[in-house]
Chain A
Amino acid sequence: MIAMLWQNIDYVGSVVLFCIGLYCVITKNNLIKKFIGLNIMETSVFAFIIALGVVDGGEAPIMGAGASAPFTNPIPQALILTGIVVAVSTTALALSLIIRIYEHCGTIEADELREME
């Protein structure tokens, strides 16, 4: 199993990053920090999906003069392009909300906000 994981070091890396991100989301009190954590989680999933498309010795899937097989799988890349855009959209909205919450409450610490409710 260890050998298997060593070979799949990309997968292991994304799981570790996923957990770090989740830890940040759960334990951090500051809303912005929470959201950076969420972004780490997001990128870890992206890294995982990109890793699915990798093939040993593969090149970028751009045909044309000089390109030679094998090429990496283009599908995960296409998915993650979309994924990245979705992530930045979510981030923009979340940060806007954080700005408004700060304007209203004067703090962006989750526990202080909870007390205000």
Chain B
Amino acid sequence: MSELFDLVLIALLIACALAVIRTKDLLGAAIIFSTYSLVLCLMWQHRGAPDVAMTEAAVGAGVTTVLFLVAIGRTVRREK
């Protein structure tokens, strides 16, 4: 059961990563990346690393995403 959960999480991560690459809309890509971070955070929580999970949630999914959003807001929204 636990291994299946691992597998699903990793598959989700890879799917998110691929989706980030495929998405032409940078805003969308940033949001997907934030989802990716949250999945990662879940995985780490499951691995017995709650400190890292919390940091990843706050920094990876939070601050990094905000910074990406700001940057996209000040530059362009779509990739050519």
A-side residues, CB < 8 A to B, are 9-10, 13, 16-17, 20-21, 23-24, 28-30, 32-33, 36-37, 39-40, 43, 46-47, 50-51, 53-55, 58-62, 71-72, 76-77, 80-81, 84-85, 87-88, 91-92, 95, 98-99, 102, 107-109
CB distance from A72 to the nearest CB of B (A): 4
Contact B26 A30 (CB under 8 A): yes
Chain A residues whose CB sits within 8 angstroms of the CB of B70 once the complex forms: 95
Q: Across the interface, do B33 and A36 meet the contact criterion of CB distance under 8 Å?
A: yes
Residue of B nearest to A85 (CB): B59
Cα–Cα, bound, A80→B53 (Å): 10
Within the complex, which residue of A47, A77, A80 is in contact with B43, where a contact is CB–CB below 8 Å? A47
* A9 to B76 CA separation, bound complex (whole angstroms): 38
Task: Compute the total of residue contacts between A and B using a CB distance below 8 Å.
Answer: 129
Q: Which residues of B contact A60 (CB under 8 A)?
A: 48-51
B52-A77 in contact (CB<8A): yes
From 27 to 80 in chain B, residues with beta carbon under 8 angstroms from any chain A beta carbon are: 29-30, 33, 36-37, 40, 43-44, 47-52, 55-56, 59-60, 63-64, 67-68, 70-72, 74-76, 79-80
Q: How far is the CB of B23 from chain A (nearest CB, A)?
A: 9
Please pick, from B3, B10, B21, B30, the residue contacting A20 in the complex, using a CB distance under 8 A: B21
Residues of B within 8 A of A (CB): 3, 6-7, 10, 13-14, 17-18, 20-21, 26, 29-30, 33, 36-37, 40, 43-44, 47-52, 55-56, 59-60, 63-64, 67-68, 70-72, 74-76, 79-80
State the main secondary structure of chain B at its contact with A: helix
Note all chain A residues with C-beta closer than 8 A to B51.
Answer: 60, 77, 81
Rounded to whole Å, the gap between the CB of B17 and the closest CB of chain A is: 5
Beta-carbon contact of B76 and A84 below 8 Å: no
B20, chain A: closest CB distance, angstroms: 6
